[in-house]
Amino acid sequence: MSETLKIIILESIKSIKLILNNKQFTVDEASNSTEFFIALAQNRYSADLIIMDIDLKNEDGFKLIKRVREKNKAVPIMIITANNHRDNFIKGISEGISDYMLIPFEDAILNNKVLKLLNLSQNLIEKKVIFNLPFFIQLELKKATKGKYNVTIMMTTFYKQVKDFSNEIDNEYNNISGYIYENLKNIFWDTDVFIPYASQNFIGVFPFASGENKDKISGKVDDCFNNLKLKEPKLKEYYLSNVLLTYPQDIKEDEDIFLLLLEKTKEAIKATKNNSKSRLFVS
C-alpha cells in the first residue's frame, strides 16, 4: 500500500478512529447518514473501505448499505454490530458485505481485518468480486442466460460445535480460514472462481458445470478437507458442508441466491447435528 487509503466510518463507537491510527490511510467519521453520504459524495462515492454500525438510531443500517451499493458496487463494507443473531449475518452477506465485527472487540483484531480488506482492495484485483459477490453472481447468471449454458454456485462452510458465537470463535475461524482456502483453491481450474467470503465460508462459481457435476465438485472438496484433517490436528473438531445450486435448474435469475445458499447450508448442518445439547452456529 504505497499511497494513502481512504476509510469512511458511520458508527457510534468513537474509539474506532483512534484504533485505526495508521499513516497508510486516512479516516473520515460520520455520526449520521447525512454526514456519511456527504463524505462519500466528496470522495465521488469511492473509498477503500467503509465501516458502519448497523444498529443506528432511527435509521436502518441495511437500507444505507443498499444506497451505497447503488452508487458503488465494489467498495468493501465492514459491518459493526453488537447483535450476534444469525439473521444479521445472513442479511449482511446477502447485501454484499465484506466482513463484520462483533461488539465488543479487540483492537488488534479490528486492525487485522481492516488491513486484510485494504490489501484485497489494492493488490488482489481478481478478487474484487468478493466485495459485492451477489452482484457478481447475478452478472454470471445473465451471461449464462445469453450463452445458454449452466452455472453451478457452491457455498462451502467449515464449522465446529459451539454453544454461542463470539469474537473468540470468529478469530479462530479467521486463523484457519486462510490455510483451508489455500489448499481448496488448488483443486479447481483457473477458469473457476473460488474465493473466501466472511470468516468461515467460501464461494465457488463454476461456469458450464451442470447439475450432473455437483457430486464430483463436492467430492473433490470433501476429499481435500478430509486429507487436511489427517495432517492438521487443529482441524480435528471441524466439519465441512457443501451446498451446490445449478442455474437455471435450481435458481431463478431474480432469486436471492445468497439467502437460498445460507438457508440450505443451515439445513445441511442441522441434519448432521450429533449433540442435541449444542447448536451449530453458521455466521
The total number of structural domains in the chain stands at: 2
pLDDT category of residue 112 using cuts at 50, 70 and 90: confident
* Predicted pLDDT of residue 132: 61
Mean pLDDT over each residue of the chain, to the nearest integer: 80
CATH number at residue 173: 3.30.70.270
**Per-residue pLDDT, 170:** 74
Average the pLDDT over 187-193 and give the result.
85
Same domain, yes or no: 152 and 97: no
- For the chain, what is the radius of gyration of the CA atoms? 19
Q: Is the same domain home to 172 and 252?
A: yes
Strands 5-10 and 25-30: parallel
pLDDT at 227: 95
For a pLDDT cut of 90, what percent of the chain falls above it? 23
188 to 131, 221, 226: CA distances (angstroms): 21, 9, 17
Q: What is the pLDDT of residue 163?
A: 67
Q: Is residue 58 very low, low, confident or very high in pLDDT (cuts 50, 70, 90)?
A: confident
* Residue 277 pLDDT greater than 60, yes or no: no
Q: Do 55 and 166 belong together in one domain?
A: no
Alpha-carbon distance of 198 to 202, in angstroms, equals 8
Residues 179, 201, single domain; the answer is yes
Beta bridge partners of 179: none
Q: Is the pLDDT confidence value at 125 over 50?
A: no
At residue 94, the pLDDT reads: 67
For residue 134, pLDDT over 60 is answered with: yes
Do residues 162 and 241 share a domain? Answer: yes
Domain's final residue, options 95, 123, 151: 123
Give the model's pLDDT for residue 121.
53
Average pLDDT (159-165) is: 74
Letter for the amino acid at 237?
Answer: E
Residue 129 has pLDDT above 60, yes or no: no
- Inform me whether the pLDDT recorded for 189 exceeds 90: no
In the predicted model, what is the mean pLDDT of residues 31-36?
Answer: 88
Q: What is the mean pLDDT of residues 228-249?
A: 93
Question: Would you say residue 276 has pLDDT above 50?
Answer: no
b/e burial code for range 183-218 (CB count within 10 A of at least 16 → b)? ebbeeeeeebbbbbbbbbbbbbbbbebeeeebeebb
- Cα distance between residue 205 and residue 211, in whole Å: 13
Q: What is the mean pLDDT of residues 155-169?
A: 79
Which of 81, 100, 123 is the last residue before a domain boundary?
A: 123
Residue 276 lies in a domain: no
Average pLDDT over residues 242-258: 86
CB atoms < 10 A from the CB of 15, how many?
10
C-alpha neighbours within 13 Å on the C-beta side of residue 51: 29
Q: Which of 83-97, 116-130, 189-203 has the lowest mean pLDDT?
A: 116-130
> Is the separation of the CB atoms in 20 and 41 below 8 Å?
no
pLDDT at 100 > cutoff 70 = yes
For residue 119, the tally of other CB atoms under 10 A from its CB is 12
Boundary (domain end) residue, out of 72, 99, 123: 123
Kindly state whether residue 251 falls inside one of the protein's structural domains.
Answer: yes
pLDDT band at 246 (very low <50, low <70, confident <90, very high): very high
Which pLDDT tens digit goes with each residue over 192-213? 888 887 778 899 999 999 989 9
Give me the CATH number covering residue 67.
3.40.50.2300
Domain region containing 95:
5-123
86 and 149 inside one domain: no
What is the secondary structure of the chain as a DSSP string?
A: --S-EEEEEE-S-THHHHHT--TTEEEEEESSHHHHHHHHHHTTT--SEEEEESEETTEEHHHHHHHHHHH-SSS-EEEEES---HHHHHHHHHTT--EEEESS--HHHHHHHHHHHHHHHHH-GGGGGGGGHHHHHHHHHHHHHHHT--EEEEEEEEE--BSS--HHHHHHHHHHHHHHHHHHGGGS-TTSEEEEETTTEEEEEEET--GGGHHHHHHHHHHHHHHHHHH-GGGTT-EEEEEEEEETTT--TTS-HHHHHHHHHHHHHHHT---TTSB----
